Amino acid sequence: MPRSVCIVSPGNLSANPRLVKEADALQGAGYDVTVVVSDYSIGLRDFDNGIEAGAHWRVVHAARSPRERYVHVAASMAARLIDGAGARVPVPVAARAYGGPVAGLHAAACAVPADLYIAHYVAALPAAGAAAQRHGALLGFDAEDFHSGEGMDDPAEAQRMAMVRIVEGAWLPRCRHLTAAAPLIGKAYASLYELRRPVTVLNVFPLDMAPTQAAPPRQPGAPLRAYWFSQTIGLDRGLQPFLQAMAQTTAHVELEIRGDDPWGHGETLKTMARALGIADRVRVLPLAPPREMVRLAAAYDLGLSLEMDVSENRRFCLTNKIFTYLLAGIPVLMSDTPAQRALAPELGVAAAVVSLADPVGMAVALDRLSGNLGVARAKALRLGYERYNWEFEKEGLLASVAAAFERRRQGTACRH
């Protein structure tokens, strides 16, 4: 019988394309894969159903409890009292104080027998860990973000980050399989918890998502069409400095922003564009299915990855935006976070690194890209097809899982 893998996540299938790629890769490599997820966002159900209908692996939906919010509030209060008394917060209390569908994931994951349980996100770690203990299985974790550093610069997040460290500190040292979405994320986790360095598995996409036709040549004098997308539109995504830069370029730059807009931030950005005199050049588009992201990006000249330097996680991450744009064959404008600065030399002319504190300098970079777009696009397309795609990157994932089973066979541990 093939070895079985259970992947556990507190979110929706469509909210985590990384999980879907992981499940596809493991199933394709001969593992028997089950995915345990939570129906966290009702608005994503149709997208989830589409993914599930085409999947070759099983999906189990964890039940959501109506008491979940009250348990979270009670656990948060208990954690504050325990911590205030100078005692260590128990791991189960910390998990519930952190939040998420803890009880539902625990029950669903423990009901699935497997040889390896892989948690995605902190809220899934206790469930995957408990299931691994119950079934005498291996435990793994995929660090899409540096969760311990998501709120370290925000005093209001201090308790939540303390809960993260309690949960991660309890479970990560038990992992035999560890992957991270960026080199600096893996380095940070290895240092913080004295772990074996996680294998880097970048947030890239399969070649079958790439556009089937090359983009037509840009006509002389045509606008430089910039593009940004995410699940939700926010005001902490570096878009305001880009609007300021747009207003100062020699080239005619347009921007389209795609994502869910529950808080009306898209209108706030359009109001700013009106004040800058570029209202006719900024448009907001609705959310689209994950599998369409690369194809949709290919219609533009430039993709934006403007991470703000607001936390350790933002400094260390390499988001899927970058690799969506490369596979689509368009260059990337990246903010100068440590992770993106480190990646830029590998991308060459397919990327430009800018400071969000310097809209004038960003405008200069946009004008330079506008005049060199053909070369930049050709380089981006080559990188997407030859290096930054899932067919290349998934080998690291498969090797890490195989090594975890081999280490178990040899009786060695994950730590140094």
Kindly tell me if the per-residue pLDDT of 352 is higher than 60.
yes
Take residue 242 and report the two structure tokens written for it. Answer: 């880009």
- Please check whether residues 240 and 327 belong to one and the same domain: yes
Q: Per the domain annotation, does 415 fall within a domain? A: no
The verdict on pTM exceeding 0.85 is: yes
Interior CA angle at 153 toward 147 and 156, to 5°?
90
Q: What is the mean pLDDT of residues 23-39?
A: 96
* pLDDT value of position 414: 46
- Please check whether residues 182 and 164 belong to one and the same domain: yes
The number of beta carbons lying within 10 Å of the beta carbon of residue 369 is 25
CATH at residue 64? 3.40.50.2000
Task: State pLDDT tens for residues 342-351.
Answer: 999 999 999 9
Kindly tell me if the per-residue pLDDT of 152 is higher than 90.
no
- Please check whether residues 307 and 281 belong to one and the same domain: yes
Interior CA angle at 237 toward 242 and 154, to 5°?
130
**Number of domains comprising the chain:** 2
Kindly tell me if the per-residue pLDDT of 416 is higher than 50.
no
Q: What is the mean pLDDT of residues 87-105?
A: 94
Kindly tell me if the per-residue pLDDT of 320 is higher than 80.
yes
Confirm if 19 and 201 have CB atoms less than 8 A apart.
Answer: no
Q: What is the mean pLDDT of residues 55-59?
A: 96
> In angstroms, how far is CA 255 from the centroid of its own chain?
23
Q: Per the domain annotation, does 299 fall within a domain? A: yes
- Please check whether residues 256 and 185 belong to one and the same domain: no
When mean pLDDT is compared across 118-132, 141-155, 157-171, the lowest value belongs to 141-155
* pLDDT value of position 15: 86
* 1 vs 103, more confident: 103
Using DSSP's 3-state secondary structure scheme, residue 31 falls into coil
Confirm if 339 and 184 have CB atoms less than 8 A apart.
Answer: yes
| Location of structure tokens 């498969």 | 398
- Please check whether residues 131 and 262 belong to one and the same domain: no
* 157 vs 378, more confident: 378
* pLDDT value of position 155: 65
Task: State pLDDT tens for residues 262-318.
Answer: 999 999 999 999 999 999 999 999 998 888 999 999 999 999 999 998 889 999 999
72 to each of 27, 61, 75, 281, how far by Cα in Å? 35, 21, 5, 44
- Please check whether residues 243 and 106 belong to one and the same domain: no
Q: Per the domain annotation, does 179 fall within a domain? A: yes
Task: State pLDDT tens for residues 107-142.
Answer: 999 999 999 999 999 999 999 999 999 999 999 999
- Please check whether residues 103 and 174 belong to one and the same domain: yes
Query: Which pairing describes strands 253-260 and 199-200: parallel, antiparallel, or unpaired?
Result: unpaired
- Please check whether residues 78 and 118 belong to one and the same domain: yes
* pLDDT value of position 153: 59
Confirm if 366 and 356 have CB atoms less than 8 A apart.
Answer: no
Q: How high does pLDDT run on average in the chain?
A: 93
Using DSSP's 3-state secondary structure scheme, residue 158 falls into helix
- Please check whether residues 180 and 277 belong to one and the same domain: no
- Please check whether residues 179 and 195 belong to one and the same domain: yes
Tally the C-alpha atoms within 13 A of residue 92's C-alpha that lie toward its C-beta. 4
* pLDDT value of position 156: 65
Confirm if 262 and 232 have CB atoms less than 8 A apart.
Answer: yes
142 to each of 136, 145, 187, 269, how far by Cα in Å? 20, 9, 14, 34
Q: Which of 376, 303, 310, 6 is nearest to 152 (CA)?
A: 310
Task: State pLDDT tens for residues 210-231.
Answer: 987 777 777 777 899 999 999 8
* pLDDT value of position 5: 98
- Please check whether residues 221 and 255 belong to one and the same domain: yes
Q: Per the domain annotation, does 309 fall within a domain? A: yes
DSSP 356: T
Q: Per the domain annotation, does 94 fall within a domain? A: yes
Residue 259, Ramachandran bin (φ over 0: left; ψ between -120 and 50: alpha; else beta):
left
Kindly tell me if the per-residue pLDDT of 412 is higher than 60.
no
- Please check whether residues 48 and 36 belong to one and the same domain: yes
**Residue span of the structural domain in which 398 resides:** 4-204+391-410
Q: Per the domain annotation, does 416 fall within a domain? A: no
Q: Per the domain annotation, does 405 fall within a domain? A: yes
Q: Per the domain annotation, does 89 fall within a domain? A: yes
